[in-house]
């Protein structure tokens, strides 16, 4: 769960920076560095969690919620972003897609936990 929360934090940080710049995007080294760090973090998190699946180290909850959440977030947005990407409409859209995907999974996790904590 910590990896998903950290992924969300990084995406939210970039989204906030892009929202402050919208609609006039301009080169910003700070945002480009955050994008690179996000992409590297997401790649590592995905690699680690998929390795844990192969070794049988994940709980049922992690297999059914955390791994798909990280995978979907990566594939629907982060994978399509270049490392060091400059602020642009396309970057904004991909970060928005990633935010939406993470929010979906966070809601699913919350609902699951509410049902199973009664």
pLDDT band of residue 117 (cuts 50, 70, 90) is confident
User: In 27-81, at which residue ranges do the beta strands (DSSP E only) sit?
Assistant: none
User: What's the pLDDT at 118?
Assistant: 60
Contacts of 5 (CB under 8 A, 6+ apart): none
DSSP state of 85: P
* The pLDDT of residue 23 is above 80: yes
Mean pLDDT of 64-92: 96
């Amino acid at each position: 769960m910590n990896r998903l929360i950290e992924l969300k934090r990084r995406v939210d940080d970039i989204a906030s920076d892009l929202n402050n710049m919208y609609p006039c995007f301009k080169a910003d080294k700070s945002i480009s560095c955050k994008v690179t760090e996000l992409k590297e973090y997401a790649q590592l998190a995905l690699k680690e969690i998929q390795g844990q699946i192969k070794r049988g180290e994940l709980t049922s909850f992690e297999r059914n919620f955390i791994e798909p959440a990280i995978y979907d977030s990566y594939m629907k947005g982060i994978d399509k972003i270049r490392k060091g990407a400059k602020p642009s409409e396309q970057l904004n859209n991909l970060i928005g897609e990633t935010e939406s995907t993470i929010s979906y999974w966070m809601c699913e996790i919350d609902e699951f936990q509410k049902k199973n904590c009664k």
